[in-house]
Amino acid sequence: MTLPPPNGLSRAQLHELYYWMRLTRSLEEKLVNLYRQTKVIGGLFRSLGQEADSVGSAYALDRGKGDILSPLIRNLGSMLVQGATPLEVLRQYMAKAESPTHGRELNIHFNDLRRGFIGQISHLGDMVPVMAGITLSFRMRREARVGLVYVGDGAMSTGAFHEGMNFAAVQQLPLVVIAENNGYAYSTPMEKQTAVKFLVEKAAGYGVPGEQADGNDVLAVHDVTRRAVARARAGDGVTLIELLTYRRKGHAEHDNQSYVPKGELETWAANDPIERYQRQLVSSGWADADELAALDARITAELDAAVAACENEPLPEPASALTGVLADPPEAELEWYRRLHG
């Protein structure tokens, strides 16, 4: 039996959604291996169990129209959809000279406005006002472009989130705000973060429409996001979307999750977004086992090649740290350093 493909998607696009989710997970698993070999310089952040929310939402944007998104630390999948490559991500984690930030920034904190992603900084909430400004520029230039910004149950407690959200709402900017409810901000559970039961309730406080969807159902995520994107593109302003999901790993690789109640991890493991989607693809007649196996094999080959390409690359030259603070750095500022170091 074959059902008609949902959400206006083609069979090939349904396969792409699978590809991006699987690529996200496999890339992170590669990074875990490199982390254990101490080749990852800093921390390692997993999105295990949240791949559907990143991929389904990013896939609802239109790269051809120049849409831009801003990820949080667990939105690797959204960056891959927008065209970031595994090679770039591997180089970032390993602080290579050839990484997009030349070893200046960590993990997925990098950007390419042409491809449509702008990396976050560590100060949660800051990207909401920044994305408000980016979408303000879209409107001022009469461009039919849309912005999308991810926040979590933690980021929504910050003042920057509030100020940016309020500004975007007042200005009716073409911005989609994805609130990922994954249960925890580091070790702090949702009920210690906010007094509302669901993050979507906060939409009312900003006078914007709020929507909620199952964050582990990639097609539901895609559907709710594409409707919000259409509203934004039509000039109808901001939408707040809450995606219900779960963070199955600790804040970072070092975190042993001792604060998680017994049974919770098992419950959510049984609700794995990739396995769910795999079953759905096959039972709906949208993919067969051979097609999925071929995608898996392609991902394995791509990732092996990416690791081989950069594993032994050098770190940046120390003195490269001194350039690029300003467009026109004053020569005199370096004089004392040069005097001391010849």
Summarize as ranges the residues that interact with another protein (CB under 8 A).
Answer: 101, 104-105, 109-111, 113, 118-119, 121-123, 126, 128-138, 140, 159-160, 163-164, 166-167, 170-171, 324-330, 332-333, 335-336
CB nearer another protein, residue 202 or residue 247: 202
Shortest Å distance, C-beta 336 to another protein: 5
CB nearer another protein, residue 112 or residue 253: 112
Structure tokens at 196: 């509302």
Shortest Å distance, C-beta 102 to another protein: 9
Shortest Å distance, C-beta 134 to another protein: 4
CB nearer another protein, residue 139 or residue 227: 139
| Rg from Cα positions in the chain | 21
Shortest Å distance, C-beta 253 to another protein: 23
- Which among 135, 270, 239, 242 is positioned nearest to 179, based on CA atoms? 242
Q: From the CB of residue 228, how many other CB atoms can be counted at a distance below 10 Å? A: 27
**Which letter does DSSP use for residue 156 in this model?**
G
CB nearer another protein, residue 143 or residue 304: 143
- Paired with 176 in beta bridges are 148, 239
Shortest Å distance, C-beta 239 to another protein: 18
CB nearer another protein, residue 162 or residue 276: 162
Burial of 181 (0-12, 13-18, 19+ CB in 10 A): buried
How far from 86 is each of 27, 136, 152, 221, 303, CA to CA, in Å?
A: 7, 31, 24, 23, 7
CB nearer another protein, residue 8 or residue 330: 330
Cα(180)–Cα(156) distance, integer angstroms: 10
Shortest Å distance, C-beta 68 to another protein: 9
Q: Are 220 and 271 in contact (CB under 8 A)?
A: no
- Which among 23, 20, 113 is positioned nearest to 58, based on CA atoms? 20
